Amino acid sequence: MLLPALEKDQRRIIQELRKSGALSRSALAARLEISPAALTKLSRALLSMGVVEELGDPAHQARGRPAVPLRLASSGGYAVGATAHKGMLDIALVDFAGAVVATHHETIPPIDPRQFARKVREITHELVSRHNLLGQRMLGMGVAVPGPALSNDGERWSVVDALPGWRGAPLHEILSGELGWPLWLENDANAAALAEFYLGGLLRDFSTVVVLLLGYGIGAGVIVDGRLMRGQYGVAGEVGCLFPMDQPRPSPLDLLACLRADGCAITSVAEIDPTAAEQRPTIEAWLDRAAEQLEVVCNTAFAWIDPGAIVLAGPLPGEVLCGLEARLSRAALVVTVGNRRPPVRVSGLEGSPITLGAALLPIHALAA
């Protein structure tokens, strides 16, 4: 059961409820500058679709029930997000209201796109059954890929070498053929930006944000006026080009390489531990250098885009991300009107922002 196409003002209602929480019809009409009569008609249609619901007992309300609050209905549908990284597979399910229903994480050998789709389909069916979602509306699936787009249509991607058979392949065709669900493909940094925007609460306070994803490498997801900014050729936010691969970079893999070079016998980013005595000096030195490198990213993002927040996210330990934030807060960053500086903060999300953001892609597409 697919969700019917929504009118522009229906999308605006959904986005306002996602931003502000439950609101009465009269409050919605005032905020969106829609007549009460038109709002009542629009909300009636959304109620019939099952994507919004009424709060409280409307039995004794006046005709039109203007004071009965409306909110997004979690039962309006669910969406699935998936991502593959070197050695691991992540899947997440979210409901229409944006709540996380289930997550799945497992270690896997290198996997090609077709194998990935089959495994994701199998695990998704298990999760849907386990969480009593059978019969509910499936809104679609989002897949986040580590790498920039190679074509404007989002069909082919410059995926990292660690995933065999992904780079340059017709991913949308392959994955759609195996999954059979409405499908969205997106760069992992853009997916992380959606997770921070919706689940991280940025939507409530800001319309424009930048998320710096320190993941396989370094990238940025940019949301301007509530919409993902992709650029002319789909590679907006590819800030990794500022830090060539043959030179030190402010990325988790670079920190891992530094630790190994200093004699720390670790094999993955997951083993980075700021509390370990043998790792601490290397991590501190890396933080000093990485923060200095990130100054140019924060300054230029702030000067060009004027974001309400610049969020540091990724698989690095929270103490490492906080170390970057602390150094950037002390740095001589640019200042603009009102003595404002780049508003750097650390992600507060639990779980992978990439996978959660992938799951939000179908939901974002409905209202953005």
pLDDT value, residue 368: 74
Q: What mean pLDDT do residues 207-215 have?
A: 96
Q: What mean pLDDT do residues 320-341 have?
A: 94
Q: What SS3 state is found at 42? A: helix
**Which pLDDT band, with edges at 50, 70 and 90, does 60 fall under?**
very low
Q: Which CATH number fits domain 77-194+354-367: 2.160.20.10, 3.30.420.40, 3.40.50.300, 3.40.50.2300?
A: 3.30.420.40
pLDDT above 50: residue 97: yes
Cβ(269)–Cβ(235) under 8 Å? Answer: no
77 is written with which tokens?
Answer: 């549908």
pLDDT value, residue 65: 57
| Nearest-angstrom CA–CA distance, 216 and 224 | 24
pLDDT value, residue 87: 78
Q: What mean pLDDT do residues 37-41 have?
A: 95
For the chain, how many residues are written? 368
- Among the residue ranges 85-89, 104-108, 170-174, 200-204, the one predicted with the least confidence is 85-89
Reading phi first (left if > 0) and then psi (alpha if -120 to 50, else beta), residue 4 is in: beta
**Which pLDDT band, with edges at 50, 70 and 90, does 63 fall under?**
low
CATH level 3 topology of 201-348:
Nucleotidyltransferase; domain 5 (3.30.420)
Cβ(79)–Cβ(335) under 8 Å? Answer: no
pLDDT value, residue 288: 98
- Tokens 């306002």, located at residue: 16
Q: What count of other Cβ atoms lies within 10 Å of the Cβ of residue 73?
A: 19
Average pLDDT over the chain reads: 92
Backbone angles phi, psi at 289, to 5 degrees: -70, -45
Q: What is the pTM of this model?
A: 0.93
Q: What mean pLDDT do residues 150-167 have?
A: 86
* 331 beta partners: none
CATH level 3 topology of 8-72:
Arc Repressor Mutant, subunit A (1.10.10)
**Where exactly does CATH 3.30.420.40 map onto the chain?**
77-194+354-367, 201-348
- Among the residue ranges 119-123, 135-139, 147-151, the one predicted with the least confidence is 147-151
What are 336-358's pLDDT values in tens digits?
Answer: 988 899 999 999 998 889 999 99
pLDDT above 70: residue 269: yes
What are 212-238's pLDDT values in tens digits?
Answer: 999 878 999 999 999 999 998 888 999
pLDDT value, residue 300: 96
pLDDT above 60: residue 59: no
The dihedral through the CA atoms of 172, 176, 178, 181 has a sign that is positive
* Most confident of the ranges 59-63, 266-270, 295-299: 295-299
**Where exactly does CATH 1.10.10.10 map onto the chain?**
8-72
Report which of residues 338 and 210 the model is more confident about.
210
Report which of residues 367 and 124 the model is more confident about.
124
pLDDT above 80: residue 70: yes
pLDDT value, residue 80: 98
Q: What SS3 state is found at 193? A: helix
- Among the residue ranges 159-168, 204-213, 289-298, the one predicted with the least confidence is 159-168
Report which of residues 56 and 6 the model is more confident about.
6
Residues 6+ apart with CB under 8 A from 226: 15, 203, 207, 368
| Nearest-angstrom CA–CA distance, 57 and 68 | 8
* 222 beta partners: 210
pLDDT value, residue 367: 79
Q: What mean pLDDT do residues 241-252 have?
A: 92
